[in-house]
Amino acid sequence: MREATPLSPSPSPPRAGGGAQTHSFLPPEIIRSDLESRTRHVADALFELARAAANVQAGAERDVGEKANATVSMLAQLDAIKDRIQMMVPKDVLDHTRSFVNRLASENQYSVGQHESIRRFRDDFGHALQDAFPELTDSIAAATVGTEPMEKPTAAKIAQAGDAQEAPPNPSNGMDVDTQAS
């Protein structure tokens, strides 16, 4: 007779006795509490993984891998207690949870998009102000203190700004200002 082979490898090694682990001595409340705690940890790990994956920046690619490994580890811990659990989760609860998580993820992506759009507008507007009014560069930099830094002007832009200050005023700068006295 062949020994039964599990469909998925257990993340925890078998006990020294060689038999299956039995936890029938634990009250159902403790088992349920442990399950809820581990499930919360998995949900938190999934959230952190999604957040890290949505905000990957140069040099931070390792964070996504670390979060993925932590999530897999927590899922393995959750899988390890499956033999102790005798209760069933209603399908309605699973469906509601799935739809809630999907809605939350889409709202999160929408918020991330809004934040990114506002940040880009701020940077573009700040650069346009610096180009138009080089004397305000320090004020613009001070106004963005505590936010993500704007790109620093290149040497060419600084030289261009210096040339613009020495150039004679251009009366056709696109502004409709009537300078004649009536």
Beta carbons within 8 Å of 41's beta carbon, 6+ residues apart: 74
- Quick one: pLDDT at residue 92? 92
Q: Which tens digits make up the pLDDT trace of 117-129?
A: 998 998 899 889 9
Is 130 exposed, middle or buried, given 0-12, 13-18 or 19+ CB atoms closer than 10 A? buried
Where would I find the H helices in the chain? Answer: 28-54, 61-80, 91-132, 137-143, 155-166
**Residues 52, 64 contacting (CB under 8 angstroms):** yes
Following DSSP, what letter does each residue of 73-119 receive, concatenated?
HHHHHHHHTGGG------HHHHHHHHHHHHHHHHHHHHHHHHHHHHH
Which of 18-22, 28-32, 139-143 is the least confident region? Answer: 18-22
Q: What are phi and psi of 98, to 5 degrees?
A: -60, -45
What pLDDT is attached to residue 132?
Answer: 93
